[in-house]
Amino acid sequence: MRLEAAMQIINMEQYSIWTSVWPAKGTWWLRALSLLLLQSIIGPAVGFGYARAGCKLEECQHAHDGFMSLENQKWEFCQEINQYLSCLHRARRGCKGNINFHVIHKGLNTLFENRECQSILQGPPPPSSPRPIEFPGRPEDDFAPSSEAPPQEPLDCSYKGSQPEMRHCGLFGDPHLKTFEGHFQTCRVQGAWPLIDSRYLAVQVTNEPVRPGSYATVTTKITVIIKGGMSACTREKVYEAQAEYLPETFVDGSTSSGDSTQHSVQLRVIKHNEKMEIKVKHLAAHIYVHRLAGALSFSAQLPLDLALPEEGTSEGSMQLCALGCPIREQLRSSADVTQPVALTREAALQFCGGQNLSSTYLEWCVFDVMTTGDKYFVNAAVSAQQDVILLDPMAEAVLKESAKWTYSSAPVRFVPWQLVAASVILAAAAGRR
């Protein structure tokens, strides 16, 4: 009866908008979605509370509360639903356990599918509502929409930044970081950390310990967000890779964005479940995501003006590709790894040697194989160096540099963890005699 009472409060104009999507015999969650969306109009009367502290559901609701008014404009309606879903995606971490959030998210996904929004958005917007032609690169302060451009003129999504010099950043292994400035670091950075965070592009990685008690970590999740709203060349696209599997689509099920004749964003399979490529034409960005040895690796090539931090970036900003790892998170030598390693240095060298690795990537390979005992980390090191050669214009000079790592000048032999355990058992047995 609460729902019927609420409906009496809504005037007929508002009600007519909702009746077109209110299911006569729908599933419980679709009915619940409609009810929850109604709370932006009749919240106190319905009796539902808003999102709890820390959950930004309410911000998404306020930003997109008028999306139903676009119902008769298919392309704009679908675009608004997609942006609503993107907002919920960004807010999901703080909304775990919030029933309102999960019902709305589920309902919007179904609405997106039922209205065939995926196929609608693959095409250009209708001529009756052309988007303004805007500058797709940075800075946008100098941009002013052109009123003289003919409505049907194709959108130019080529890169127009001021500094076309390219820079490369890579992350792989336990993990090892090569910054846009060419610095080499090995970091623990456990948990979620941003690699790139600009107004156009964001990349976040999640790292977990190699084994319990270890400071060495490996990357188990990579999220790439190509931000919409800042450029007419694309709507927001999100790619999520897991250590278990590399998806072959963005989270919305698509593989591209923009005009079908010149996709501004493209996702391509290089090797099934091992290597994915993302190209962003209007940013001149080139991204690789690898899955090797049960862990993830990342490489990106960006123009200089997008690679370095923007003016006004706070000192506390954590963009690992631009600023490197915080000093407290850097591993300076093998002594920073608290547990016994799985293989000796000599054994690891047998796997890593002969791969034509530079001194830095050889030491990183040895470290990974020693720490994990997994010879397949050799492939990760080889792949990471190949990305440098492919994506870094200064690759030759960069690869001649050596990371400051203890093993480079003072090889140390470690006892395998199996022998350590055996020694403890023997010592305990001797003590009982």
pTM: 0.61
What DSSP element (H or E) covers 297?
A: strand 295-303
Give phi and psi for 180, each to the nearest 5.
Answer: -60, -25
Structural domains of the chain in order of their starting residue, each with its CATH number: 2-122 (no CATH), 166-408 (3.40.1000.10)
* Dist CA 381 CA 399 (whole Å): 13
**What is the arrangement of strands in the sheet containing 265-271, beginning at the earlier edge strand?**
184-186, 176-178, 166-172, 295-303, 285-292, 275-280, 265-271, 256-257
pLDDT one digit per residue (tens) for the chain, 433 residues: 333 333 333 333 333 334 444 444 455 555 555 555 555 444 433 334 444 456 878 878 877 777 787 878 888 888 888 888 888 887 777 787 787 888 888 888 888 888 888 778 767 666 544 444 344 444 444 444 444 544 445 677 888 877 779 999 999 998 999 999 999 999 888 899 999 998 889 999 999 987 776 667 899 999 999 988 767 788 899 999 999 999 999 999 999 987 666 788 999 999 999 999 999 999 999 999 999 988 999 999 999 989 988 765 555 568 999 999 999 888 876 555 545 678 888 999 999 998 999 999 999 999 899 888 889 999 999 999 999 999 999 999 888 877 665 443 223 333 343 444 444 444 554 554 4
Burial (Cβ within 10 Å: 0-12, 13-18, ≥19) of residue 160 = middle
Tokens representing 337? 């790894």
